[in-house]
A = this chain, B = another copy of it.
Amino acid sequence: MEEKETGRLEAFSDGVFAVAITLLVLNIKIPGLDLLPGQLPNDAQLWSSLLNEWPMLAAYTTSFATIGVMWLNHHRLYTHIKRTNTILMLLNLLLLLVIVFIPVPTALVAEYFVRPDMHAAALLYSGTMVILAVCFNLLWRYASYHNRLFGKNVDIHAVKAISRQYWFGPLPYFLAFILALFNTPASLILNFFLALFFAIPPRLPRSLPEQSYQPSEPG
């Protein structure tokens, strides 16, 4: 089996993903934690203060989902990338810089969800997503250029499918960014479907007539 050079790069990235995905739970305040036992709120008051925290709970869930899908994509790229060099490591750091920042715009979006006439939060969120899509593209283009950092037995079709899916990436995210100037909910819905689109693996090429195996889904 071919040696994989990217072990430590992946371990470090996993650590950063893990810390970033966990940190937002710190924003969920625990009501009355610094009160003496005699001052504790009763059940009705506690439920009401817990319900008031819904923006943070929504932000926590959304950030978790967003960073989780990013981790999934990172994992998918590195099943093909086997070798490493300084430029790849710097591009990977750039990607992580944006990913660690995600909780900030996500919390803003969750908070301003009740005020769809406000655009700032949605603009910041979609802008971060545009930059993230560009960073993912840079990393993948650099690694896949002439199969530069792939192993010998790389799966060409899987690589091409990712390249096509990623090529398609920054443009619709930029559309969502422009949409945020006019219609906040529409922009967020588009972002949601784009996250879904990048969660599922890319479709393999539709027709592979020259292949030796029988394509199961020719259409």
Q: Which one, B11, B103, B107, B121, contacts A11 given CB within 8 A?
A: B11
Q: With a CB–CB cut-off of 8 A, which chain B residues contact A19?
A: 15, 18-19, 22-23
Interface residues of A (CB under 8 A from B): 1, 3, 8-12, 14-23, 25-28, 30-33, 36-37, 40, 42-43, 46-47, 50, 52, 55-56, 60-61, 64-65, 68, 71-72, 75, 78, 86, 89-90, 93, 96-97, 100-101, 103-104, 107-108, 111-112, 114-115, 118-121, 124, 199-201
| Known A23-B22, A46-B121, A56-B33; contact A86-B199, beta-carbon cutoff 8 A | yes
Copies of this protein chain in the complex? 4
| Known A18-B12, A18-B15, A71-B12; contact A25-B114, beta-carbon cutoff 8 A | no
Q: Tell me whether chain A's interface is mostly helix, strand or loop, or mixed.
A: helix
A170–B155 Cα distance when bound, in Å, is: 41
A12–B75 Cα distance when bound, in Å, is: 10
| Known A33-B56, A104-B28; contact A89-B75, beta-carbon cutoff 8 A | yes
Contact of B199 with A90 in the complex, beta carbons under 8 Å: yes
